[in-house]
Structure 1
Amino acid sequence: MRKKKVAMEKTFGQWKKQCLNKLDLSKKGSVDEDIQHVVSLLNSCEEFFTTSSCSGRIILTDGMSGLSRSNGDAVLKFEPLVLHIQCQKLEDAQLMHSVAINSGFKNSGLTVNKKGKIITAVRSTHCLEVPLSHDGKLLVEHEYIHFLTQIANQKMEENFRRLQRFYQNLQTALSSDRLHNPHPLASQEQQDLAHSKETAKIERNETTVNKPRQRSQHKTDCYHGDGDSSLLELDDCLYLFT
């Protein structure tokens, strides 16, 4: 059992090394500044590493340069933070899921694939997606677009508050978990050392006996450690920044 656990930890370490060393293939090409501290904390832990992240964003979709020049279906979207974290063990994923839920990311969940990769997805439900034009024709008044951008910016502010709560709760959870659950291999080494000392003590006691006698059997217990955002410019904006 212990050999199997060591092999699993080695495999996880290889996955982590491969993921963190590969190129960032996102359009931005780097981790969002607003979530960098969370990503760095997770990747510094041996039990976790991040596979993808986005701090949240407000965008106009359809690839147009502005609403007045759109010839398609323009949609205003707010997408909250999303974070995918690969976890070493199921208990680690459960801990991460608990932190996410308690921080306001109610749409978070766990998945396990055929290779045994355990992923925690940190997500929330306060999204926004509103169509603004169809075939180049604006469907709503400019006043309503201003209203929508205010709503989107408010959602972004709430998104960042939840992100900060997640970071604080994560720090607390990791500190508490390490305090109550030391590394299993270290624990096994301590047990082996204690067992060796006890055996040596018994042998020393036996050598002090002068007369032969029948030895009693000693039973020893053995333990196995088994985005970016701002208010919408109506004629000249593709991405919105708060």
Structure 2
Amino acid sequence: MAAFWRRKAQRLARADGSRKGALDERAAAVVRLLNGRAPFCTTSSCSGRLVLAQGSAAGRFFIQAQDRASPICRDRLIDSLRHQDTSGCGIHKKNCTWLMVTHETCIKDDVMTALEKATGDVVLKFEPFVLHVLCQELQDAQLLHSVAVNSGFRNSGITVGKGGKIMMAVRSTHCLEVPLSHKGKLMVSEEYIDFLIHVANQKMEENIRRIDRFYKRLEVALKPAISTNSSPSEEMESRSRYLHRRKRRTVQEQDPHTSPKDHREELEHEGDTESSLGVFAEMMI
């Protein structure tokens, strides 16, 4: 516990190391909500973005490296490149140039204008919301994981390091990465680019909805923790009840034809509430 508090104090005392120097607006509410709760400390975040990236051999190596990495490590590789934010263009990052980057939906004119600057291989990317959270206890990570998955971030996962460091990654899979030009030459039609922009904007809109849903459900899940009259054991029980309700609702959604009695028997068969919390996307020791 002392190690967690030391890490949290050190993390919150650091200046924002990103190029932007501030949180993404859409991620800010979630980050502040979590950092305001004792068991959590966010370590990195991105609200989601549309990017025109021009890469080189180093960029290709990065893509190969992230494919070989485990899901959480891959997120950290991605985060190391994209956490630094700016609304400008022509940003150079490890032999990769961002010709355009936005956290909002985009229009065709902006994409075509940015493509005029291309001299190499260019891809259009949509990268969804990602958040990494240091958690005090495993049950705290499990609570956060449950809320994330039920909000649409179904690729979320938990890792436990050798020193007991517990990290929770909130992420989803609705990404997009499409090559547009090769050696500065546009390889697709403008009609296809128009179609891609429509698809990317739809993904951005869905990303925004998921962030809003995640924040609202997180508020509900963490509400017991802000009661000054609640003891730690009462807060634990409240969290367990929340996760138990989410589990029951998930079972009902998966098999709507099963009777309530069958649902209860299925949940009881899984053991007590504490054991039913162990839902992981990954566990790395």
Deviation string 1:33-64 (CA, Å, 9 cap, x unpaired) is 11111111000000001000000000000126
* SS at structure 1 position matched to 2:51: strand
What percent identity do the matched residue pairs reach? 57
Q: Is the 8 A contact 1:61 1:77 kept in 2?
A: yes
> How far is 1:27 from its partner?
2.4
Within the candidate set 10, 24, 33, 2:25 is matched to: 33
**Greater RCO, 1 or 2 (C-alpha within 8 Å, sep 6+):** 1
> How far is 1:181 from its partner?
7.3
More helix by share: 2
User: Does residue 157 of structure 2 align to residue 118 of structure 1?
Assistant: no
Moved more, 136-145 or 51-60: 136-145
1:172 corresponds in structure 2 to 220
> How far is 1:126 from its partner?
0.3
Q: Is the 8 A contact 1:51 1:85 kept in 2?
A: yes
User: Does residue 177 of structure 2 align to residue 129 of structure 1?
Assistant: yes
Question: How many Å separate the matches in 2 of 1:99 and 1:25?
Answer: 28
Within the candidate set 104, 124, 129, 1:81 is matched to: 129
Of the two, which has the highest radius of gyration? 1
In structure 2, the gaps of 5 or more residues are 55-96, 100-113, 237-285
User: Does residue 205 of structure 2 align to residue 157 of structure 1?
Assistant: yes
Change (3 A) 1:125 1:181: farther
Within the candidate set 108, 126, 138, 1:90 is matched to: 138
Within the candidate set 66, 71, 79, 2:119 is matched to: 71
Change (3 A) 1:40 1:50: same
Q: Which amino acid aligns with 1:182?
A: S
- What TM-score do you get using the length of structure 1 for normalisation? 0.69
After the TM superposition, which residues 98-113 of structure 1 pair with which residues of structure 2 at under 5 Å, given as runs?
98-113=146-161
* SS at structure 2 position matched to 1:165: helix
Q: Which amino acid aligns with 1:32?
A: D
Deviation string 1:162-212 (CA, Å, 9 cap, x unpaired) is 00110011011112466797325x99xxxxxxxxxxxxxxxxxxxxxxxxx
Q: Is the 8 A contact 1:64 1:70 kept in 2?
A: no
Moved more, 120-129 or 10-19: 10-19
1:20 corresponds in structure 2 to 12
1:191 corresponds in structure 2 to none
Equivalent residues, number: 179
> How far is 1:26 from its partner?
1.9
Q: Which amino acid aligns with 2:5?
A: G
Q: Which amino acid aligns with 1:130?
A: V
Q: Root-mean-square deviation (CA), in Å?
A: 2.2
Question: How many Å separate the matches in 2 of 1:127 and 1:41?
Answer: 26
1:57 corresponds in structure 2 to 49
